[in-house]
Amino acid sequence: MVALVDQPLRLVLVGLGAFGREHLGRLLARKDVVIVGVADPSLAARNYVAVHYPSLQVETDSGSLLTATKPDGVIVATSAQSHFDITRKALSLGIPVLLEKPVTPTASEAEQLAVMSEESGTFVLPGHVLRFSQDHCTVTDIVRSCGIGKLIYLCSRRYRDGDHTIRYTDDPVLTTLIHDIDLAVWLTQEPFRTVRSRRIGGPGFRSLTTADLETVSGVHCHLRTAWIFDSGDLPPDRLEVVCDHGSVELDVGVGLTLYAEGQAKTLPLVASDDQLVNEHSHFLSQIRGSRRPRAVTMTDAVRGLKLTDAILEALRSGREVDVAG
């Protein structure tokens, strides 16, 4: 489906949980988009729309809504367990999909969606939103330029409050560490070989989770997330990338520092950067141009989910796990 450049694109949003509402608010602020319907089976979602957006059409069944409206695109922001069926339906109708992370709970399902996407003639854009953060893009550009040498090490942290154990039922690996797994895929651009992981503390997901990944060339990635903090101020999300002639460190929302040629250089953060708006703009441009996604692909998502599968298996077994494929 090719939309005319000078006409707003007609979109459907599936899922009105916390992040679905973030999508909705930003989409409704755009002049190049018309929301032709939202879908969510929960009464809470329907009540939310009735109170805040009474003019919006809301349905319980996403498949029926997609069939009836035939939108130019659909954004899927439901739980990961429902992603496969919703996306399969959209692809069968030739509708492009912006699919929230993780695109599916397992790599095997993601591989199936990748095949369906190729066969459908349209595309799935994985919602790995940090690919659309301009500060993270700056880090990637520095590493790609080879100005600080060859990548040898990557370290990330992503800390959250303990209430995450109430708000989310999925494992932290699939909920928060998935961002850092995709950063590792994005920055290394090579296959991974082995995974080790640990979970410290508890009970349950109120704990610290670490993952140590090694690529085929020996790049080491140390990723960690913790759902242990009291609500309030938290340490900023952090990404450190070390090359063999320097490093770059991003404390999200705080600062970006490049260490090169014996000097520390503070680089400016991008003011008022909204990565979700950037992601929407990329999705819309791909629909208008009938081009497959370039910022992040289903191949990237599959690679990340193979790492996710291996991390979860390492947590279960307590052993180092080889990465499949």
Amino acid at 55: S
Q: Do both 86 and 189 map to the same domain?
A: no
Cβ-based neighbours of 311, under 8 Å, separated by 6 or more: 173, 177, 181, 195, 197, 211, 321
Which CATH number goes with the domain that contains 230? Answer: 3.30.360.10
What sign for the dihedral angle of Cα 245, 192, 321, 314?
Answer: positive
Q: What is the pLDDT of residues 26-44, one digit of tens each?
A: 999 999 999 999 999 999 9
At residue 292, the pLDDT reads: 64
Angle, alpha carbons 34-35-39 (nearest 5°): 170
Q: Do both 237 and 287 map to the same domain?
A: no
Band (pLDDT 50/70/90 cuts) for residue 324 is confident
Q: What is the pLDDT of residues 250-306, one digit of tens each?
A: 999 999 999 999 999 999 999 999 999 999 999 999 999 866 667 899 999 999 999
Within a domain: 204? yes
Within a domain: 4? no
Within a domain: 290? yes
Q: Do both 168 and 198 map to the same domain?
A: yes
For residue 185, the enclosing domain spans 131-266+306-322
Query: 305 in helix, strand or coil?
Result: helix
**2 pLDDT above the threshold of 70:** no
At residue 103, the pLDDT reads: 97
Residue with tokens 């409704």, as numbered in its chain: 28
**6 pLDDT above the threshold of 80:** no
In order of 55, 69, 313, 322, the CA distances from 317 in angstroms are 51, 47, 6, 12
Within a domain: 40? yes
Q: Do both 282 and 185 map to the same domain?
A: no
Cβ-based neighbours of 93, under 8 Å, separated by 6 or more: 66, 67, 70
Q: Do both 200 and 91 map to the same domain?
A: no
At residue 1, the pLDDT reads: 42
* Rounded CA separation 181/186 (Å): 9
Within a domain: 102? yes
Per the structure, the count of domains in the chain is 2
Q: Do both 188 and 117 map to the same domain?
A: no
Q: Do both 231 and 282 map to the same domain?
A: no
Within a domain: 301? no
Q: Do both 156 and 179 map to the same domain?
A: yes
Which CATH number goes with the domain that contains 282? Answer: 3.40.50.720
Alpha helices, H only, the chain? 18-28, 43-52, 62-69, 80-92, 107-120, 134-145, 164-167, 172-175, 177-188, 275-289, 298-317
What sign for the dihedral angle of Cα 69, 72, 75, 78?
Answer: positive
Residue with tokens 């991974």, as numbered in its chain: 192
Q: Are 80 and 14 in contact (CB under 8 A)?
A: no
Band (pLDDT 50/70/90 cuts) for residue 234 is very high
Within a domain: 2? no
Mean pLDDT for the stretch of residues 88-101: 97
Q: What is the pLDDT of residues 97-151, one digit of tens each?
A: 999 999 999 999 999 999 999 999 899 999 999 999 999 999 999 999 989 999 9
Within a domain: 271? no
Kindly report the average pLDDT of the chain as a whole number.
Answer: 95
Backbone angles phi, psi at 189, to 5 degrees: 55, 40
